[in-house]
A and B are shown apart, each in its own frame.
Chain A
Amino acid sequence: MSQRSLIDLFITFVGRNWQRILRLTGEHLLISLIAVGITVAVCVPLGIYLTRNERAAPYVIGLANVFQTVPSLALLGFLIFVFGIGNDNAICALFLYAMLPVLQNTYTGIRGVPKSFVQAARGMGMTDFQILMKVQFPLALPVLVAGVRVAMVWTIGTATLASAIGGGGLGRLIFSGLSSVRNEIILAGAIPATLLALAADWLLKRAQEYFNPSARAKRLAKRHGISAEKEANSAA
């Protein structure tokens, strides 16, 4: 099979099946987003809780680490016993997979806020909750978003395995391409999955930048009609 003919075959396949590919891409994205959404909803509060209960931290993070190291296919297979076949199983497995970076980054991000800030905040009369919301969380946010970014990219990649246990997504194309030994179908699944992962990575990188304190200050200055950058330069 020559290169040219693979490209021809690929184009023909996509031309005939683009609606299906789009639908599977949407499904893939949905599964990934739900899984990462659950991960964030569970692991951010859990990570914050661990910063207040340091003794539990190594065990909980250790557990997340274990999930991380189990081969993904094996984990998916094992979860069939719990959830049966389908997307629920896949989402649960993806959640267990994505836990570690989000949990770890939340925990280290918040712990990484220098004690002096916390002391100063307390000394000025912030309650514990205010210290968390006004000082620790905003300062940990770039680290936290970095964790979500890693989780998102992993999840989009791993979600291709979901179809192995009866779930949907672009994995369907990849597996059917593998079983019928048709590379153009594998590509039709793999290329959109890769593009999805790259797009998600890019978006979250932008989010990371958006939450950066200096970007926030620039926005503030802009809103009030002053260029902070120009000011800073003229001062330097």
Chain B
Amino acid sequence: MSAERIASGDGVAFKEVYKVYPDGTRAVDNLNLDIRRGELVSLIGPSGCGKTTTLKMINRLEEPTSGSIVVGGEDVRSSDAVALRRRIGYVVQEIALFPHLTVAENINVVPSLLGWSEAKMRFRADELLEMAGLAPERYRYRLPDQLSGGQKQRIGVLRALAADPQVILMDEPFGALDPISRETLQNELVSLQKNLRKTIVFVTHDMDEAIRISDRIAILRHGKVEQIGTPEEIQTSPKNDFIRNFIGEDRLSQMSPDDSVGMLLEEPWAVAAPSESAAAVLERMEENDREFIHVVDPKSGVWLGAALLGRVRRAAVAGKSVVESLSRDRKLYLEDAVLRDVAQMLADRDISIPVLDADDRLLGVVTSAGLARLAMNRLRGKRPSPAGGEKKEESR
């Protein structure tokens, strides 16, 4: 996504970080992790893998034994812990809204520590409540006890957002919620993140959750990053048996027709610019034995259409530009396309399908080869152990 947008080091970076407890336990063992600005990265792993310790070292609730942790370009150990924490949002599993404070006061805990004016805090609380779809005049003076579990954690998230920090830490924030509220809040977080683009470090033990919400997932084991990648990468190419077990055999084998096509995206073999002549494009296609090429505006990345070999040939004979041969009806949008669509379209005609973002930019293509590879991976993943997801808690 916006991964390359801003140079790394601006988000949260761990460099050779160790955390050794007095009893010799290595909670974090040479951890290296670079979380980019505006990215949501999940830390996941079996219990005792060091994910919560890792999170707490970012706001200095835990101090690393050695190594450096940089937040927003500044080493955390060179800044005052209290000031640092006020710059970083924090959401905990226990929710921990203060029961003696109203919803608005809870939201404004950090702003009040920062000395904001009453008027500004009131405005901020109302603004955030509205953003979360909670009518301010109804909820402002409620107490946490008068809220449902899902509403409580919604306020918990708003509390972390109140002082507008760039970095937000979430420690299994939805772990204590019922499945329905959990899913609702996950979806809300995803849409919130689309607009706000915070740097979010999200600890979870729930792989489904990580897949649903993350830009990237870091799987931790024995205090090290075992594998890091986008949800699609982790699912389609688990690095080893540990990852495969951890993801859960059932998930690998369970290819739902409603899964996003995101995991199938491939680079298109070649694209043509609209300014090229049909003849030049035809030559390239024949050389590479292709019957299909995508035409993309080189500046904006916007997909203009696909050119089929037959039509390019005709345009070339007529001496026209490649633009004359485009067809635009065969495409998918990443936002709403699922594997079912891909399978149907590929069965209909076996040529690569362009996948576009909401602004018509070409993100990649999906091919029948990719679909077959995914299927193979998942089938293979199932074979080694029939035990399924039970392995999750096992390795320590």
B94 within 8 A of A: yes
> Which A residue sits closest to B102, measured CB to CB?
A217
B389 within 8 A of A: no
Task: Check B109–A138 contact: CB distance below 8 A.
Answer: no
A120 within 8 A of B: yes
- In the complex, what's the smallest C-beta–C-beta distance from A116 to chain B, in angstroms? 4
Residues of B within 8 A of A220 (CB): 102, 141
- In the complex, what's the smallest C-beta–C-beta distance from A4 to chain B, in angstroms? 55
A12 within 8 A of B: no
Number of A residues with CB within 8 Å of any CB on chain B:
29
Task: Check B141–A117 contact: CB distance below 8 A.
Answer: no
Task: Check B61–A124 contact: CB distance below 8 A.
Answer: no
Count of A-B residue pairs with CB < 8 Å: 81
> Which A residue sits closest to B147, measured CB to CB?
A235
Task: Check A124–B85 contact: CB distance below 8 A.
Answer: yes
Query: Mask for A100-138, Cβ within 8 A of B = 1, else 0?
Result: 000000000000001011011111111100100011001
The answer, among A123, A138, A217, for a CB contact under 8 Å with B90, is A123
> Which A residue sits closest to B80, measured CB to CB?
A125
Given contacts A124-B110, A127-B82, contact A119 B92 (CB under 8 A): yes
Kindly state the interface size class of chain B when it binds its partner.
Answer: 20 to 34
Task: Check A125–B85 contact: CB distance below 8 A.
Answer: yes
The answer, among B94, B96, B110, B142, for a CB contact under 8 Å with A228, is B142
The answer, among B90, B109, B140, B146, for a CB contact under 8 Å with A235, is B146
B83 within 8 A of A: yes
A214 within 8 A of B: yes
The answer, among A120, A127, A216, for a CB contact under 8 Å with B96, is A120
The answer, among A122, A123, A138, A228, for a CB contact under 8 Å with B100, is A138
A45 within 8 A of B: no
Provide the main secondary structure of the chain A interface: helix
A232 within 8 A of B: yes
CB under 8 Å from chain A, chain B span 82-97: 82-87, 90, 92, 94, 96
With a 10 A CB-CB cut-off, give which of A125, A130, A135 has the most chain B CB atoms. A125
A54 within 8 A of B: no
Binding site for B on A (CB under 8 A): 114, 116-117, 119-127, 130, 134-135, 138-139, 213-214, 216-217, 220-221, 224, 226, 228, 231-232, 235
Which 9 residue pairs of A and B lie closest in terms of their CB atoms, listed nearest first?
Answer: A125-B86, A125-B85, A116-B94, A120-B96, A213-B100, A123-B90, A221-B141, A116-B96, A217-B143
Binding site for A on B (CB under 8 A): 56, 59, 61, 82-87, 90, 92, 94, 96, 98-102, 109-110, 113, 137-138, 140-143, 145-146, 159, 169
A-B contact pairs, 30 of them (CB 8 A): A116-B94, A117-B96, A119-B61, A119-B96, A120-B90, A120-B94, A121-B98, A122-B85, A123-B56, A124-B85, A124-B113, A125-B82, A125-B84, A125-B86, A125-B110, A134-B98, A139-B98, A139-B100, A213-B100, A213-B101, A213-B143, A214-B143, A220-B141, A226-B137, A226-B141, A228-B146, A231-B138, A232-B142, A235-B138, A235-B146
